Amino acid sequence: MTNDHTFIVGPPRRHSSSSPLVATAASFGVAIDELGELRIAHVRGDLDEHQISVLGDALLADAPESDEVGKWWTPAQDQPAHAGTVIETGLRPGVTDREGAELVRAATELGLPVDAATIGTRWIVTPSDLSDEDLATLARRVLHNEVIERWHTGSLAPGFVDDAGADDHVATIALEGLDDAQLAELNGRRRLGLDPEEMVAIRDHFTELGRAPTDAELETLAQTWSEHCAHKTFRAHIDVVDGAGAVVDQVDGLLKSYLRAATDEIDAPWVRSAFVDNAGIVEFDADHDIALKAETHNHPSALEPFGGANTGVGGVVRDILGVSAKPIAVSDILCFGPTDLPVAELPEGVLHPHRIRDGVIAGVGDYGNKIGVPNIAGAIVHDDAYTTTPLVFAGCIGILPTGSNPTNAQPGDAIVVLGGAVGRDGVGGATFSSQTMQAETAEVAGSSVQIGDPIVEKGLIDVVLAARDAQLYTAITDCGAGGLSSSVGEMAETLGADVDLQLVPRKYQGLAPWEVWLSEAQERMVVAAPDPEPVVELARRWSVGASVIGRFTGEGRLVVRNGDDTVIDLDCGFLHDGRPRRHMTAMAPATGRPERTSLDLDADQVGALTLQLLAHPSIRSNESVLRTYDHEIQGGTVVRPYGGIECDGPADGTTTIPQGTSGDRAMVIGIGVNAVIGRHDAEAMAWHVVDEAVRNSVIGGADPNQLSLLDNFAWGNPTDPETLGSLVAACRGCHDAALAFGAPFVSGKDSLYNVFVGPDGTPDPVAPTLVLTAVGLCSHPELVPLTGVVDAGDDVWFIGPIDGWLGGSHLDEVLGADHGGAVPMPDAGAVARHHEMAAAIAAGLVRSAHDPSEGGIAVAAAEWAHAGRLGVDLDVLATPEVLFGEGSGRYLVEVAPGDAERFAALAPSATRIGSTIADPEVRLAGATITLDEVYAAYVDADATGGRS
Amino acid sequence: MTPKVLIPVALGTNRDHDLAEAFALAGAEPHAVPLTALRSGEVSMADFQILAVPGGFSYGDALGAGRLFGLDLAGWFGDELHAAVERGVPVIGICNGFQALVRTGLLPGDVPSVLTENERATFECRWVTLGAEPANESAWLRDLSEPIRCPIAHGEGRFMSSDLAAVEARGGVALHYLDADGQRAHGAYPANPNGSPGDVAGVTDASGLVLGLMPHPENHVRDHQDPLRGRPGASGNALPLFRAGVAAAG
């Protein structure tokens, strides 16, 4: 097309033979000397030569021109010689392209007639004689992701969305008379993800009405009734059977019987709201509440790691905004396969763990950094079990003036959508995330995966908080999975609503009405406003889109029109309560573990195993990852994920004084996660991770009398009785542990169907994984223990039983085999020890502390010494149980010798086991490990790559 | 009279609250104002005694960090900006605000310069130590006899100038990255986190009124913010920088 212009922006960024990209190519068998990377801009508009030059100079080139900075040129002009083969990559039309959009905006400001723009990349590959096959491998495996991008050898044609013209077609789908097989066929063809009983209920409902549902009605029901939105496994009636098939237990809903039951029974006075809104809300101080939420974004992250993780953070931040809170912290717990997995062992249809890891980390960082919310808590776990099903847990915490989240929409209130416009990307995410993944899922589900636009969400935060403070809305929610269908649908649950889809802003024409209604276009919030005008005006002030799309009616029907055509007319009662309850069967897990094989350790083995453990991928430092996250913005961070004298030792809990509060109270986040124990005993794992989250928060200064919990389950296919059996056991463990600790669950999220079905049909389920987040309050931020040993000559105390458990331990991970033995058993006695520790901290007696978790006392002592650049000398027995055992309610504590008596009085469970020393070494049961050795094993020297 | 600080906010600006908090602690009256309100004339730059361009990811860093924010400032408010400097208004640009001021040409003002991708080609957040250049007579720096410590959080902070020697010769370098011993980092990572030649962390224009820097002094204005709290080396609160700017506006 004559008015499409291509700009190439130099100089190339050069990826040499030592760069991660070239190394990744080599792992796929493609040998490259060097990769050059140039940006290209495709611009559509009627530009003359002068205007082309103005655009290039003002918007693309980096003035001034010198050898070091950028120039631009068009293909018609002379180009610097770049020997090599050219591959170009670019976003698929319609994928969020913030840079392209900004180029159009800026060019328009400059008076240039630009209609559209998109940004891509030109790669220059040397040597230039690679085979077509090698070039294709390079493009597919290293340079682009086909889910969101295109590639071409040589110049890539500009990818603009063709305005296809309006598509107002509303299809109806005849259901009357369909038998079970026909319903199943329809269910599969439209990827509705519904149960057979649900298809029958929908058929019968419309048969009774005497009409066929529209496509939009059927899709709305599928979204609303999806596992993602309806949590139907967690609400199901479950028969638990034994090996002989006899029913041994019945569960009247996991959520009701276990998680909510614990919260109801604890009846904590600090809980303002639990399980009802987008996020749980608990008291912070006399004037403020905090809102908590943790989410999963596993399926999208497996397909498009950057976009999946990016929108995962965006989604959970909107959950917090959806209860009118200002986001003040994000967390991320990431589970990946081994990054050194040989390419030959990579299943078809699966991205390499290294690429998933890099993309996810870049996606998490990009979103949090750009919206200006510090990332201050997290963990990275590596295990074979996560190769085909990586897990991405994203959490967010917000703060709001006490009682400032209105939840009382009224008939007649306007429905206002704030934020971005709708496109075809992100249609069907809720149903997609509620099904198992297969090798070809990347192709069919590509439209379910999106790229976030954090800048829009930053604007949304400003608008919503200003609107909240001006009391401009009566209810608010976010547009997540299911788009308007779930957000407006939920808000209208009792009132009913009337919406005109023609009022919904779109990125481009050609969307069918049901797509507009269902699209999960990111960065949108919905508010109910008695008077929408001031809301729209606020949004304009902050450069955020706002549209009034309808009103709440009070008539109890969900009515959606497209101009004059009725697209949806559903009874809210059927939509929200018409789903038949699931009945499921769970197999009670086998209990009992083989006896532990005994293992004698000499001093050399103690040293070697400690160093091996320190280098274990789930234990080794991830500081370089954290450095790519802004953990300082908002100025509240007191304890960071890495601390100590060089800020490179691992902290336990992280502590924040929220901006705008009095300053004498802090919020503490503690996280517990374990990849191994759940495979042996899910109930014990639940206790174990609750305890880990609690002790981390206690070290961060939290009062164990006022903790609130978030649960995140990532399990396999719950229709498999064994999988469901372990889920039931984990929920029971959560319930019992929460009661023991007096810590209520306030919100949570279950992610099921984390199963990859390979090309040969073999299911590969994820390891049952439970992430627990404990959030607590600290009324003495100045007394929070430091990270890492503070001074030589102090006493080292140990709180708790010195013998840990070795079943499911990281020791067995590095030994490469399960040597039997019990996993860490539920230990209600840990509760008292947490209180002892907290009392000692509150008395100002704890100089520093560390939690023995993965790798036990040996690893904890080494990390602790490393963080403080001082030694420790521990007089303990050289048994594997003492050195490497893992367990609950245990702490390493540094106390000044003069405080010994007071400390011992406050912590009767504590034993003095050694002292801190000036020599930079860890002395442990006869072994001596130098801090240089610890550094070499533990510290992550990698510079992280990835997109910025 | 308490000086009023204008903190212009573009779409994607995110350290406006932090900067406002620092100026409030320093005794000024900060106002974070969206560019739309400045452009519509609802708020006028002429009513402020300090201009502080905050950090963030204006326009998502599209087309290069600070470029579009800089175009807004130069295109919409170029005359007011220069008029403000003429009448003695202290101006500070931090991180993305520094990038934007460099894009406008206001900084360093005499020599074409850019803030480009960090040497390690990644966004990085870590604490750094900064020392004021004794030869620089800017009012912003007059109380910085001791080094200050604060975090960086950027991916494009390497200050590349077509003639750094000229900037140095006129005392235009304001702040250097220092190592743990208080000596110039001499390019060594991570003391110099982005590879800026000459360890340049911040520069001023010829008048000394306009200061730009990549690190975030606004995130070290309270002692609890210091990761070395409770340990030897905990010092270098950056509040004196803001107080000096506020004093210069009075």
Confidence band of A946 (pLDDT split at 50, 70, 90): very low
pLDDT for the residue A439: 52
pLDDT for the residue A919: 98
**pLDDT of A75 above 70:** no
Tell me which H or E stretch contains B166. Answer: helix B164-169
**pLDDT of A65 above 60:** no
Contacts of A786 in chain B (CB under 8 A): 229-231
Confidence band of A759 (pLDDT split at 50, 70, 90): confident
Select from B37, B125, B153 the Cβ nearest to the Cβ of A541.
Answer: B37
pLDDT for the residue A157: 85
What Å distances lie between residue A524 and A478, A577, B247, CA to CA?
6, 26, 43
Take residue B165 and report the two structure tokens written for it: 């020697």
Candidate from A17-26, A418-427, A495-504, A528-537 with smallest mean pLDDT: A418-427
Is there a contact between A455 and B59 if contact means CB atoms under 8 Å apart? yes
Catalytic center residues of A: 228, 297
Most confidently predicted of A142-146, A150-154, A822-826: A822-826
Contacts of B68 in chain A (CB under 8 A): 102, 105-106
Task: Tell me the residue type at A300.
Answer: P
Q: Which of residues 25-44 of A touch B (CB under 8 A)?
A: none
Tell me whether residue A608 is exposed, middle or buried, using C-beta atoms within 10 angstroms of its C-beta: 0 to 12, 13 to 18, 19 or more.
middle
Is there a contact between A69 and B216 if contact means CB atoms under 8 Å apart? no
Question: For chain A, what is the mean pLDDT?
Answer: 91
Catalytic center residues of B: 95, 216, 218
How do residues A117-131 score in pLDDT, each as one tens digit?
A: 999 999 999 988 899
Candidate from A154-168, A462-476, A572-586 with smallest mean pLDDT: A154-168
- Please name the residue that has the structure tokens 């030959």: A344
Is there a contact between B112 and A64 if contact means CB atoms under 8 Å apart? yes
Select from B21, B56, B112 the Cβ nearest to the Cβ of A659.
Answer: B21
B41 reaches A (C-beta below 8 A): no
Confidence band of A366 (pLDDT split at 50, 70, 90): very high
**pLDDT of A368 above 70:** yes
How do residues B101-113 score in pLDDT, each as one tens digit?
A: 999 999 999 898 9
pLDDT for the residue A413: 98
pLDDT for the residue A80: 57
pLDDT for the residue A70: 47
**pLDDT of A259 above 70:** yes
- The rounded distance, in Å, linking the Cα atoms of B53 and B6 is 8
pLDDT for the residue A446: 46
| Residues β-bridged to residue B51 | B6, B91
Contact assessment for residue A366 and residue A349, using Cβ atoms and an 8 Å cutoff: no
- The rounded distance, in Å, linking the Cα atoms of A614 and A831 is 28
Q: Measure the CA dihedral A213/A217/A219/A225, to 10°.
A: -110
Helix (H) and strand (E) counts for chain A?
32, 40
* Residue A117: strand, helix, or coil: strand
Is there a contact between B231 and A645 if contact means CB atoms under 8 Å apart? yes
Rounded to a whole number, what is the distance in Å from the CA of B208 to chain A's nearest CA? 23
Confidence band of A426 (pLDDT split at 50, 70, 90): low
How do residues A179-192 score in pLDDT, each as one tens digit?
A: 999 999 999 998 89
ipTM score assigned to the predicted complex: 0.97
Contact assessment for residue A288 and residue A338, using Cβ atoms and an 8 Å cutoff: no
**pLDDT of A844 above 90:** yes
Select from A66, A109, A369 the Cβ nearest to the Cβ of B123.
Answer: A369
Contact assessment for residue A846 and residue A893, using Cβ atoms and an 8 Å cutoff: yes
A791 reaches B (C-beta below 8 A): no
Contacts of B60 in chain A (CB under 8 A): 98-99, 102, 370, 453-455
How do residues A464-474 score in pLDDT, each as one tens digit?
A: 999 999 999 99
- The rounded distance, in Å, linking the Cα atoms of A312 and A450 is 10
- The rounded distance, in Å, linking the Cα atoms of B154 and A397 is 23
Sheet holding B200-204, edge to edge: B29-34, B4-9, B50-53, B91-94, B210-213, B200-204, B173-178, B124-132, B148-154
pLDDT for the residue A68: 39
Contacts of A638 in chain B (CB under 8 A): 224-225, 229
pLDDT for the residue A11: 76
Is there a contact between B71 and A58 if contact means CB atoms under 8 Å apart? yes
Contacts of A371 in chain B (CB under 8 A): 14
How do residues A334-357 score in pLDDT, each as one tens digit?
A: 999 999 999 899 988 889 999 999
Sheet holding A848-850, edge to edge: A848-850, A891-895, A795-799, A910-917, A871-874, A921-924, A927-930
pLDDT for the residue A512: 86
**pLDDT of A233 above 50:** yes
**pLDDT of B208 above 60:** yes
B250 reaches A (C-beta below 8 A): no
- The rounded distance, in Å, linking the Cα atoms of A488 and A506 is 17
Report the length, in residues, of chain B: 250
How do residues A380-415 score in pLDDT, each as one tens digit?
A: 999 999 999 999 999 999 999 999 999 999 999 999
Take residue A305 and report the two structure tokens written for it: 């790691």
How do residues B50-106 score in pLDDT, each as one tens digit?
A: 999 999 999 999 999 999 999 999 999 999 999 999 999 999 999 999 999 999 999
- The rounded distance, in Å, linking the Cα atoms of A822 and A50 is 76
How do residues A768-779 score in pLDDT, each as one tens digit?
A: 999 999 999 999
Contacts of A69 in chain B (CB under 8 A): 114, 116, 160
B78 reaches A (C-beta below 8 A): no
Contacts of B36 in chain A (CB under 8 A): 540-543
- Please name the residue that has the structure tokens 């059996």: A725
More confident residue, A29 or A370: A370
Q: Which residue of A has its CA nearest to B224?
A: A638
**Considering the entire predicted model, what is its pTM?**
0.94
Q: Which of residues 208-237 of B touch A (CB under 8 A)?
A: 216, 218-219, 221-222, 224-225, 227-231, 233
Is there a contact between A59 and B14 if contact means CB atoms under 8 Å apart? no
Q: Which residue of B has its CA nearest to A663?
A: B224
Take residue A465 and report the two structure tokens written for it: 């908080």
Select from B60, B121, B219 the Cβ nearest to the Cβ of A632.
Answer: B219
How do residues A783-801 score in pLDDT, each as one tens digit?
A: 999 999 999 999 999 999 9
Rounded to a whole number, what is the distance in Å from the CA of B177 to chain A's nearest CA? 16
Of chain A, the percentage scoring pLDDT greater than 90 comes to 76
Is there a contact between B125 and A64 if contact means CB atoms under 8 Å apart? no
- The rounded distance, in Å, linking the Cα atoms of A833 and A855 is 20
Question: What mean pLDDT is predicted for residues A893-897?
Answer: 98
Select from B63, B112, B151 the Cβ nearest to the Cβ of A99.
Answer: B63
- The rounded distance, in Å, linking the Cα atoms of A485 and A462 is 25
Residue A787's contacts (CB-CB under 8 Å, 6 or more residues apart) are: A639, A640, A642, A643, A644, A649, A650, A651, A652, A848, A850, A867
Select from B18, B60, B230 the Cβ nearest to the Cβ of A102.
Answer: B60
Question: What mean pLDDT is predicted for residues A202-212?
Answer: 96
Contacts of A647 in chain B (CB under 8 A): 126-127, 227
- Please name the residue that has the structure tokens 């493609």: A30
Question: For chain B, what is the mean pLDDT?
Answer: 95
